[in-house]
Structure 1
Amino acid sequence: MKIKNLLLVLVALIVFSCTGEKVNKSEFPQVKEELSEQLKVLVQAIPDDKVPRSYPNKDGDYRMAGIRDWTCGFPAGSFWLMYEMTGDEYWKETALENTLKLDGVQYRTTTHDLGFMVFCSYGNAYRLTGNEDYKNVIIQASESLLTRFNPTIGCIRSWDHNQDKWDYPVIVDNMMNLEMLFWASEVTGNPKYREVAVSHADVTLENHFRDDWSSYHVVSYDTITGEPVLKHTHQGLHHESAWGRGQAWGFYGYTMCYRETGDKKYLNAAENIGDYILENLPEDMVSYWDFNDPAIPNTNRDASAAAIMASAFYEL
């Protein structure tokens, strides 16, 4: 397995770096300082009723989104991680301010992205403060997410839009939201959240992946039979292409599922998806936006996909 070879290389690098004083530890405070400065600039740009979604455009303005956007929990999560890294109360206060304005999200039943929205924000808030109010928000969000589960299909519905195209769409991105459900079962002792997460992971594993372990983006199901009827993309190059971030979602998702369950089929899936990714990454390891773009190597990269992949490789 290429992943095992990669891990051996990483272990070797760690061992050799620990035998001498060649590691420049002074670089790490510099990285922390640069992260802090960048995020402080971001904080100053955040209005009360929106969250930053992307980097500044060519005019220097951040791309903002509403607090109901699927990315709304990411800024707060980033601020909580800065607080954890630095211990600076400024980051705790900033994180709290940007978490509490998402309070109403926990009751939403029209989105599958509640893990992104709530677990990144309130999940880190609870982990770092122990405040029971934050735990209750996550449990309520998990309840809301369960309303989107169809037992005939065995999956959580992703989108409600484009109903003329897809009867019951399930996107590979949804693997990321299962982590919140595993957590909810752990803290409440109620197995229902975990059961839904496992069912969703199993059905996705059966229907989303091709023989080479590349992933479809969208699979639409028949609500009567529970069978898949369409396999499409919504953000990739074409229906049979491998959208870069989609591969990352699946890779992280099954790495996480193995962590939460210990089930070797999830480990096998993660290793195989990781192998596919390694075989298709450029030398600098920053993912192409779609691995089947005929313009490769002269095409766009996706740093967000690269970050997700790196996180999964690190854990695996």
Structure 2
Amino acid sequence: MKLHNLLFVLIALFATSCAGEKGKKAEFPQIKQELSDQLKVLVKAIPDDKVPRSYPDKDGGYWWATIKDWTCGFPAGSFWYMYEMTGDEYWKGVALDNTLKLDGVQFRTTTHDLGFMVFCSYGNAYRLTGNEAYKDVIIQGSESLLTRFNPTIGCIRSWDHGKWEFPVIVDNMMNLEMLFWASKVTGDPKYKDVAVSHADVTLKNHFRDDWSSYHVVSYDTITGQPVEKHTHQGLNHESAWGRGQAWGFYGYTMCYRETGDEKYLEAAENIGAFILKNLPEDKVSYWDYNDPAIPNAYRDASAAAIIASALFELSQYSSKGEMYLDVANKIVETLSSKEYRANDGSNGGFILKHSVGHKPKESEVDVAINYADYYYLESLKRQQELIK
């Protein structure tokens, strides 16, 4: 990282850490203790055979996830991040427990979300422990994901439900990281080849002229051409669903890291420009950037956390690094405020409040959700790594 970028980070973090008023980021050691205390409330509630997905109070408390749920890998990943940031063996034990209860997920071929499910859990487990058994799980998960690739289309199929012929959702960009990893550790280029093909086809067909993204593109399996473009979880088909924009932004930032291909850096910067242009003053994403209720529309802390994490990474690759760092620090500062972060044992022990799952179905709206916590912790980790 360039020296002036590093100095910028140090100055920005010093400013936020020294401020004591509401909305300002606390000293990092204090935050770590608060996060630990908060998450221990959640840990005490976790049953032996499931992991926590969300805490929608109005629906009666916790929603739990099994290996059939796309979010099942995030809690273990959050606990691995806690272990990494604190060095506390307690969190290693909790992370292991919530990773190993996912055994069998690596053989699933009915979902595209194996990157979320396997790489966030077993991937972090292998990274931090070096246990070869966990590496084998990730490779098997990558093999399972390849079964969903259609060479005529050049993409991995997303859903097996709905009216679409061959749906591909922008979220799927996030699952490519596991495939890049698999090629590096096995020496077999087939995983990377699929990831690159999927990223290229998605780049061609998912994005509008302003670099906002459709959520779903469905393809004709005979011609390989797109036939429908929808935004299933957003306001309407032509709207910019907040978390969808975040997935694409993070995904192409990661693709640049893994390939060095400048077209992915350009894509990440263009997607980022659309997002930053549409963020409110506190930089926490709206659930959909076209909601007519803005500025009073629902915020999505999960989208904000994903954006912050991607910004910290992209700042290391781009000539616009200082600007990206400024926004990333502002997002983390806001998410760390009392408005968004619980630290008093409330919120079911989840860290972040105010995330939106599936607004059109009124499902998990304005609640705590596990992937929000995962990417918030990843953002904190990346932020701290920049000043080491």
SS at match of 2:57: coil
* 1:103-142 mapped onto 2 (5 Å cutoff): 103-142=103-142
Q: Say which is worse superposed, 30-39 or 140-149, in terms of deviation.
A: 30-39
Shift in Å at residue 14 of structure 1?
3.0
* 1:142-157 mapped onto 2 (5 Å cutoff): 142-157=142-157
Q: Are the counterparts in 1 of residues 50 and 101 from structure 2 also a CA contact under 8 Å?
A: no
Q: Alignment partner for residue 14 of structure 1, among 2, 9, 12?
A: 9
SS at match of 1:209: coil
Shift in Å at residue 21 of structure 1?
9.7
Unaligned runs of 5+ in 2: 19-24, 315-388
Q: Per the alignment, do residues 17 and 308 of structure 1 end up closer, same or farther by CA in structure 2, a change over 3 Å counting?
A: closer
Shift in Å at residue 59 of structure 1?
7.2
Q: Which position in structure 1 is the counterpart of 2:228? A: 230
SS at match of 2:232: coil
2:122 and 2:39 map into 1 onto residues whose CA distance is 19
Residue type at the aligned position of 2:267:
A
Residue type at the aligned position of 2:78:
S
Q: Which position in structure 1 is the counterpart of 2:376? A: none
Q: Are the counterparts in 2 of residues 49 and 67 from structure 1 also a CA contact under 8 Å?
A: no
Give CA-to-partner distance per residue, 1:264-292, whole Å, 9 cap, x none: 00000000000000000000000000000
SS at match of 1:177: helix
Shift in Å at residue 65 of structure 1?
2.3
Residue type at the aligned position of 2:291:
D
* 1:26-65 mapped onto 2 (5 Å cutoff): 27-58=27-58, 61-65=61-65
1:210 and 1:294 map into 2 onto residues whose CA distance is 20
2:213 and 2:179 map into 1 onto residues whose CA distance is 23
1:155 and 1:41 map into 2 onto residues whose CA distance is 41
Residue type at the aligned position of 2:9:
I
Shift in Å at residue 60 of structure 1?
6.7
Q: Say which is worse superposed, 142-151 or 45-54, in terms of deviation.
A: 45-54
Shift in Å at residue 13 of structure 1?
3.5
Q: Work out whether 1:255 is the aligned partner of 2:250.
A: no
SS at match of 2:227: strand
1:59 and 1:168 map into 2 onto residues whose CA distance is 33
Q: Work out whether 1:87 is the aligned partner of 2:81.
A: no
1:238 and 1:102 map into 2 onto residues whose CA distance is 35
Residue type at the aligned position of 1:159:
W
Residue type at the aligned position of 1:240:
E
Q: Which position in structure 2 is the counterpart of 1:72? A: 72
1:195 and 1:120 map into 2 onto residues whose CA distance is 22
Shift in Å at residue 88 of structure 1?
1.2
Q: Per the alignment, do residues 23 and 70 of structure 1 end up closer, same or farther by CA in structure 2, a change over 3 Å counting?
A: closer
2:16 and 2:161 map into 1 onto residues whose CA distance is 54
* 1:192-231 mapped onto 2 (5 Å cutoff): 192-231=190-229
Q: Per the alignment, do residues 260 and 21 of structure 1 end up closer, same or farther by CA in structure 2, a change over 3 Å counting?
A: closer
Q: Are the counterparts in 1 of residues 53 and 71 from structure 2 also a CA contact under 8 Å?
A: yes
Q: Per the alignment, do residues 194 and 88 of structure 1 end up closer, same or farther by CA in structure 2, a change over 3 Å counting?
A: same
Q: Per the alignment, do residues 124 and 230 of structure 1 end up closer, same or farther by CA in structure 2, a change over 3 Å counting?
A: same
**TM-score, reference length from structure 1:** 0.93
Q: Per the alignment, do residues 137 and 16 of structure 1 end up closer, same or farther by CA in structure 2, a change over 3 Å counting?
A: closer
Q: Which position in structure 2 is the counterpart of 1:246? A: 244
Residue type at the aligned position of 1:95:
A
Shift in Å at residue 12 of structure 1?
6.2
Number of residue-to-residue matches in the alignment: 307
**TM-score, reference length from structure 2:** 0.76
**Superposition RMSD in Å:** 2.1
Q: Are the counterparts in 1 of residues 216 and 231 from structure 2 also a CA contact under 8 Å?
A: yes
2:276 and 2:26 map into 1 onto residues whose CA distance is 31
Shift in Å at residue 10 of structure 1?
6.5
Q: Which position in structure 1 is the counterpart of 2:354? A: none
Q: Are the counterparts in 1 of residues 66 and 102 from structure 2 also a CA contact under 8 Å?
A: no
Give CA-to-partner distance per residue, 1:95-118, whole Å, 9 cap, x none: 111101111000000000000000
1:225 and 1:26 map into 2 onto residues whose CA distance is 55
2:222 and 2:300 map into 1 onto residues whose CA distance is 37
1:315 and 1:249 map into 2 onto residues whose CA distance is 14
SS at match of 1:212: coil
Q: Say which is worse superposed, 62-71 or 222-231, in terms of deviation.
A: 62-71
Shift in Å at residue 63 of structure 1?
2.1
Q: Which position in structure 2 is the counterpart of 1:96? A: 96
Q: Which position in structure 2 is the counterpart of 1:173? A: 171
SS at match of 1:91: helix
Q: Are the counterparts in 1 of residues 243 and 300 from structure 2 also a CA contact under 8 Å?
A: yes
